[in-house]
Structures are given as structure tokens and as C-alpha cells.
Amino acid sequence: MSFRVDVLEGGRIALYSLKANRMRTVLTTIGIGIGVATLLAIVGIIQGLNASFDRQLATIGSNNLFISKFPWVMGGDWWLYRNRKNFTLAQLEQIRAQSTYLTAISPVVGRAADVAHGEEQLSTVNINGVTNEYLSISGFEVVLGRFLTEADNETTRAVAVLGADVASGLFPGVSPVGQTVRIDGRPFQVVGTLSRKGMMLDNNQDLTVMVPFKTFYALFGKQRAFSMALSVRSTEDVNRAEDQLVGILRRVRNTPPEAPDDFSINRPEMLANTYQQLTGALYGVAVGVGFITLLVGGIGIMNIMLVSVRERTREIGIRRALGARKRTIVVQFLMEASAVSAVGGALGTVVGLGTAKVVSLITPLAADVQLITVVAGVGFAAVVGLLFGIWPAARAANLDPVEALRYE
């Protein structure tokens, strides 16, 4: 009961003191607010980048595997990967026949080319040669028309399925199905369009055109090496499927027992691990800067509170002489420091969130601040005020009442 009285009375006195020293309170509040704003702006951008990367990674599919000559994450041995043997369609069919975990498998070969219709033209469009099974692996959905069929591939038909950006860029407001586009000057009939999928790192997945695999080879040459996209029946089977594929690939490619693998099985987690390695140190430095700024604000609070203790020495002596306990004095000064810090934290939160939002609007950087971060920002600011107010509060409480009454 007495502690509650101390809190209520201490809070009332703290608010009166803050009101009596408006300019000092405002300046101290600004100091802690700058720290919180800096920290929240950085954290907001970091969370936005993480959320954006997670969304992009999800477009690949957690139960998909991708086999190619090159690993997605390469060191300095590019020439070793370059000298690996190319895959063959016969090897692909052996993988299809021998693997017990796959639901779909498709060869994938690509190049960049200009795509045009009438006077409209798009440059550096990703042209991918795939089979009908690629639709279920890629996660795309057909919006208009249809996807490529097995018959399209076997008869090398010049048909194409357009990505969302290609469809909107060449046929604004018009259905492209049944129309003709020119890929490097060669005519292709559009049979369908795909749903929008967005960016994956620096690759625009919607700036793409898909054509039958054999048609691609017939028109653009067979010298290009292809990779394979595979879909595993469940996420739980991915590890087992990868182990099985290693054995199958070594066998069908006649890899000697003592030789290392001459292929790479790529998974989305590889990109996630690389992303964490590349950004972990950067995020640590950025958050460290925010904490240092907040620390400076906390030191400012402690300095102002020490000045306040000195100015109110006679007041403290009078209160102690009238029977105020040390605990009461400590509570009063701690509440005063926490109040200043909490108000600064609230203002800093608003500024920090606004800054993160502005950055996301005018730059490619995303911002995604969670509610728990906002609560933590205000709470942490109050804790900073509490911690940096301990010494001034203890100093005030330990003043000798007689000496404090003599202070001028």
C-alpha cells in the first residue's frame, strides 16, 4: 500500500517538475527520441528486407530441387563448373524412371532476347524452353488460355506463354491469346498468359516467355546446356530425394567412385543461407549504430537528472526532514527519468516508422515494422530512462537532510 502511495505521489511530483522545466524536458525528450527513431527506422528497413526476401524465396517452392552444372552459390572455381559435362535428355528420363520421390521434372534452357508485337518491343526478356510439367514446378498459374502441352513439345510448335509484364507491355488492355509475337524476329503464336509472380533477387520473374523445350533447341541452337527443375511430393521428402538423386546422377553420368560430383543440386535454403551471411554483419553494424544513438540519449537523461538533483537539493532536504523515505525520493526521480524517456520513445517511434515508410516509398528498400517492434521501442526507451536515472535517483535519496537544508 505504501509503495503504491509512493508511486502515485512520486508520479505527481515528477510531472510537476517536468512541467516546470519545459525547455529542459523538451531537449531531453528530443535526445532520446532521436535514438529511438534511428533504431526503429533501421529495424523497420531490416524487417522489411527480410520479409521481402522470404516472400521472394517462397516463389521458388520449398519442395523443389534444381539440378545444373553450376551451383547457385559459387566460390572461385567457376572454370571447374564450366568444364562439367552437359546433361542429356536420356539422363533426365532415367532420373524420372528411377526416382521414387518426384512428382514432376522438366528441362529448363534459357536466353535473353527481344520480344515484339507490332510497334511494341521489350528488350532482354527471359526466353525459357520448358515442358508441360514445368507449370506445376514453377508455381505459376495460367490466367488466360493454356500452358504448353506435351504435343507442343514433341511437334516443335512455335507457341509461347507470356509472363505478366510481357503480356501487359505488348498487349495493353487486350488479350494476347491467339496473337503473334516475334522472338528475335521469329513468329510465335501466344497460347496463354501467366499470373504475376514478382521479383526474385534481381530477376524479374514476370518478364519471361515460355516456349516448348524442343522448339527452343530447334530455333535457337542445341549448344546451350540445360538444367532440370524437379518437384518432390512433399517437403518432408526433400532430403531423402536429394540423397537418392545424388546416387542416380552419379550412376547415369558414369561418375567414377573416387571423383567428386560433377553436378549441383540446388535448393532455396542455399540462397537463404547466403543472404544471411551477406546481410548479417551489415545488420549488426546498423543496429549497433541505433543502440549507440540511444545510449547517447540515455547519457543526456542522466546528465539532466544530475542537474535537477543539484537544483532541487533544498527541496529534497525539506521532504526528508518532513519524513519522506529514501524509497520515495528514488521512485520520484526514476519516474521522472522514465517519463521523459517514454515520451521521447513514443515520438521517436512515430518519426522512425515514418522515416522507414518514406525510405520504402522512394527507394527499392522495403519497410515492414511489426507491432511488437513498436511496443518494444517505447518500452526500451522507458527502460533506458530507468537505467540512466538510477544513479541520479540514488544520489538524491542519499543526500544528508541537514546538509541539503543548508544548500543555497
The string of DSSP letters for 53-119 reads HHHHHHTT-TTEEEEESS-SS--S-HHHHHTSPPP-HHHHHHHHHH-SSEEEEEEEEEEEEEEEETT
Q: Is the predicted pLDDT of residue 248 greater than 90, yes or no?
A: yes
Q: Which residues contact 390 (CB under 8 A, 6 or more apart)?
A: 334
Q: Is the predicted pLDDT of residue 16 greater than 60, yes or no?
A: no
Tell me how far apart the alpha carbons of residues 199 and 178 are, in angstroms, rounded to a whole number: 27
Q: Is the predicted pLDDT of residue 3 greater than 50, yes or no?
A: no
Q: Is 143 helix (H, G, I), strand (E, B) or coil?
A: strand
Give the range among 20-34, 92-106, 107-121, 242-256 with minimum mean pLDDT: 20-34
What's the pLDDT score for residue 6? 47
Q: What is the pLDDT of residues 363-390, one digit of tens each?
A: 666 666 667 777 777 777 777 777 887 7
What's the pLDDT score for residue 131? 96
pTM to 2 decimal places? 0.70
What's the pLDDT score for residue 165? 95
Average confidence (pLDDT) over 240-266? 92
What's the pLDDT score for residue 407? 58
Tell me how far apart the alpha carbons of residues 125 and 136 are, in angstroms, rounded to a whole number: 22
Angle, nearest 10°, between helix axes 89-98 and 238-252?
130
Which helix (H) or strand (E) segment holds residue 165: the answer is helix 164-170
Average confidence (pLDDT) over 31-52? 76
The mean pLDDT value of the chain amounts to 82
| Residue among 348, 331, 336, 346 at smallest CA distance from 385 | 336
> In percent, how much of the chain has pLDDT > 90?
37
Q: Which residues pair with 200 in a beta bridge?
A: 203
Q: Do 244 and 100 form a contact (C-beta atoms < 8 A)?
A: yes
Q: Which CA distances in Å does 397 have to 6, 393, 403?
A: 13, 6, 13
Grid cell, residue 180, equals 503473334
What's the pLDDT score for residue 403? 67
What's the pLDDT score for residue 405? 65
Q: Do 190 and 178 form a contact (C-beta atoms < 8 A)?
A: yes
Q: Which residues contact 393 (CB under 8 A, 6 or more apart)?
A: 305, 329, 330, 331, 332, 333, 334, 337
Position 242 confidence tier, pLDDT thresholds 50, 70, 90: very high
What's the pLDDT score for residue 249? 94
Tell me how far apart the alpha carbons of residues 93 and 174 are, in angstroms, rounded to a whole number: 40
Average confidence (pLDDT) over 324-331? 75
Q: Is the predicted pLDDT of residue 144 greater than 90, yes or no?
A: yes
- Pairing relationship of beta strands 102-117 and 180-183 according to DSSP bridges: antiparallel
Position 343 confidence tier, pLDDT thresholds 50, 70, 90: confident
Grid cell, residue 280, equals 548479417
Tell me how far apart the alpha carbons of residues 56 and 200 are, in angstroms, rounded to a whole number: 5
Position 20 confidence tier, pLDDT thresholds 50, 70, 90: low
Average confidence (pLDDT) over 195-223? 89
What's the pLDDT score for residue 142? 95
Max distance between CA atoms of the chain, in angstroms, equals: 104
Average confidence (pLDDT) over 359-364? 70
Give the range among 7-11, 213-217, 356-360 with minimum mean pLDDT: 7-11
Tell me how far apart the alpha carbons of residues 2 and 362 are, in angstroms, rounded to a whole number: 54
Average confidence (pLDDT) over 133-141? 92
Residue pointed to by grid coordinates 507457341: 159
Q: Do 196 and 164 form a contact (C-beta atoms < 8 A)?
A: yes
Residue 240, amino acid: R
Tell me how far apart the alpha carbons of residues 68 and 86 are, in angstroms, rounded to a whole number: 9
Q: Do 160 and 188 form a contact (C-beta atoms < 8 A)?
A: yes
Torsion of CA 330, 332, 337, 340, to 10 degrees: 170
Position 280 confidence tier, pLDDT thresholds 50, 70, 90: confident
Q: Is the predicted pLDDT of residue 84 greater than 90, yes or no?
A: no
| Residue among 47, 37, 39 at smallest CA distance from 360 | 47
Position 5 confidence tier, pLDDT thresholds 50, 70, 90: very low
Indicate the DSSP class of residue 261.
P
Which helix (H) or strand (E) segment holds residue 125: the answer is strand 120-130
Most confident of 43-47, 212-216, 266-270, 397-401: 212-216
Tell me how far apart the alpha carbons of residues 291 and 268 are, in angstroms, rounded to a whole number: 33
Tell me how far apart the alpha carbons of residues 133 and 150 are, in angstroms, rounded to a whole number: 9
Angle at 245 between CA 243 and CA 250, to 5 degrees: 105
